[in-house]
Amino acid sequence: MLFLILSIICSVTVGVLFKIARSYNVSQVQIVGWNYVFALIFCYLSFSPDLSKVRTLAPWGIYVPIGILLPAIFLFLAASIKQVGIVKTDAAQRLSLFIPILAAWLLFKEDFNILKIAALLVGFPALLLILTKPSQSTENKWIYPAVVLLGFGIIDILFKQIALYTSLPYTTSLFVVFGIALLIMIGAVVYDVIVSKKPMHFKNIIFGGLVGIFNFGNILFYLKAHKAFAENPSTVFAGMNMGVIVIGSLVGIFVFKEKLTKMNYTGLFLALIAIVLIVISQII
């Protein structure tokens, strides 16, 4: 249970760091870039991946899309936190679980029981209620959490494909994906510095390092939690998704004073119900 709690804390802390970074006039592109430098280092030190067989055995058709999507969606995550806040962004990220569920049903022809259908029927209005905010100044800002939801959903599908690929250890695949993401972000940082004229401030490295540490910590503790709850993975699944929504909401509301309407609160409640239904559907 400790590993699960630590994973939740790390996940929420990433959002908090992006929220705090707004006050320091930093470059989000450089933060995401340095994030992958630190995540890659910690991944190598923690897992000691064997890279000798990567060239011949790696499923590059999966690695490359994930490596491109991860930094792209991370930038949208940061933008979403800036535009609509931690509460709505965390909720959108966690509700992205419906994307792989729909893919399993429509693409991979998996059985779809009544509980999964009920979860979807509850989940979609939950998302609409969470993102609803009657304000003229927020016009079109819903696109940021919407892209976060769609992006993380696609990433989840691709990571599941990697998990099914047993010729290479999952941790080795993770290292390679981080490496591709870093290469993408090096190009983005070069553009940010040369074309956009954003200086390479030390504060970008500090925030990037912190995001990288907690981003990797989220993954590390999540894997350890699954190992500790090997007999009951649904506990990890439910705890992680509900924990991030609840803790993220509490931090957003009480620490950063984010304003939510009654419709938003109703949406958050429905989101928790939808996740519970998904977990139960996986058990029976």
- Tell me: the pLDDT tens digits for 176-200? 999 999 999 999 999 999 999 999 9
Q: How far is CA 167 from CA 67, 74, 102, 223, in A?
A: 19, 28, 27, 19
Q: How far apart are CA 233 and CA 238, in angstroms?
A: 9
| DSSP characters over 203-261 | HHHHHHHHHHHHHHHHHHHHHHHHHHTTT-HHHHHHHHHHHHHHHHHHIIIIIS-----
pLDDT value, residue 135: 53
- Tell me: the pLDDT tens digits for 205-231? 999 999 999 999 999 999 898 888 877
Q: How far apart are CA 188 and CA 45, in angstroms?
A: 26
What are 35's two structure tokens? Answer: 């994030």
Residues 6+ apart with CB under 8 A from 128: 267
pLDDT value, residue 137: 52
Task: Specify the 3-state DSSP secondary structure of 105.
Answer: helix
Task: Specify the 3-state DSSP secondary structure of 47.
Answer: helix
